[in-house]
Structure 1
């Protein structure tokens, strides 16, 4: 029987990388999707004991992102966990931010999840999980990065809808709302956040929560 598989969308050196390593430690093979070959290669080298495959894709390009997911799904023959991590940080307040800029950011931070799940659905089966890195910006946006709060609020909303849609097939979705600032030490290191995401993905389905806060 093949090993379970996690596919990490927007994989890199931060939380997404820690998520990939945490699930590899738990016995998963790993698919990594990112915008740049260099960081993907570095992350791949940091993961032991797993079949690690990488694909470069522009997540705002529906065709490119769909092809990346399907390439990994075809290679492994399954996807058990789909982790969505990206967001766009643009330091502009609501009076500076243009509508095209807002839509561009939302296309990455929210639309990318829609593309990823639709592409991954044929490879997800009962017990499959969709996880996303949420943020307190959904509730407490910083006005100087107005589009980020919109992305994170939209991401959480979409995860809730995905969870209800996928539940009849035994697949669940969860957003982990990180209520703190990422740091190299303390409760909000990438590894600690990744542990919270792993715990959310493996929670008891009988008491499933589609949004899980992480406050350290």
Structure 2
């Protein structure tokens, strides 16, 4: 069998080629052209997180997406591969603070997936220290992971996201609105990430890419019930990802995702 057509139908066929989503072959002296099946949709998750990463992967796989994951710890990646048990969950180990290695890992995943319809950026650096007790080097590292890495991810994946008309979802946090006295680095990092969202919004929309951010108020725990539920959050991510407009969303919220407006400062 060649190109999914019974061998008997290929008597007289001399050659076949595949390019740009189209397959071409000769059959009985006639040139035949047909579209290749579209590749499965793909989404890349950076920093899946220990509290809702597994649920996020399962939710998107349930919708037929192939998943690419970038994480710093190979242990965490191994756990996801074991629990997911799925050959369509691809992983790369890379440190977001190493821009070159991180970008290379994203490219490898994008090439393996074939199509990238979405990017979910979730890494964060958080440690207990006030603004007066935070070392400059620690703040630099936190900003690199919390903000710069998101910029690098968008820049790197834009050649895949643009033709797919994809979506970018940044994981924000309520500390951007009410900085925690003992979590200065995380507070300033989430504020910076929100500024990045606003800076990217219009340029990406002009390229047909939807820009969204989910501001999580409070802590999420695997297996928890109610507003802290990781499964509920994974459902929320899916609804935001599939939604149309570029917008700011909060979790948990009494307002349906489709009705939330980008009115946050």
Q: Secondary structure at the match of 2:182?
A: helix
Q: Secondary structure at the match of 1:194?
A: helix
Alignment match, 2:226: 186
Runs of 4+ in 1 over 6 A off after TM superposition: none
Q: Secondary structure at the match of 2:214?
A: strand
Alignment match, 1:52: 89
RMSD: 1.5
Of 41-50 and 60-69, more deviation after overlay is shown by 41-50
Q: Higher helix share goes to which structure?
A: 1
Q: Secondary structure at the match of 2:91?
A: strand
- Cα distance in structure 1, aligned partners of 2:170 and 2:57: 13
- Cα distance in structure 2, aligned partners of 1:145 and 1:198: 29
Q: Choose which of 181, 186, 211 in structure 1 pairs with 2:248.
A: 211
Q: Does 1:31 align with 2:50?
A: no
Q: Choose which of 42, 46, 69 in structure 2 pairs with 1:5.
A: 42
Q: Does 1:197 align with 2:237?
A: yes
Report the Cα offset of residue 46 of structure 1: 2.2
Q: Choose which of 42, 63, 71 in structure 1 pairs with 2:108.
A: 71
Q: Does 1:150 align with 2:211?
A: no
TM-score by length of 1: 0.93
Q: Which runs of 5+ in 2 are unaligned?
A: 1-37, 254-265
Report the Cα offset of residue 141 of structure 1: 1.6
Q: Does 1:86 align with 2:123?
A: yes
Q: Secondary structure at the match of 1:181?
A: coil
TM-score by length of 2: 0.76
Report the Cα offset of residue 149 of structure 1: 0.7
Deviation per CA, 1:163-211, whole angstroms, max 9, x where unpaired?
A: 211101211111101122223222222221122121111113xxx2421
- Highest Rg: 1 or 2? 2
Q: Secondary structure at the match of 1:112?
A: helix
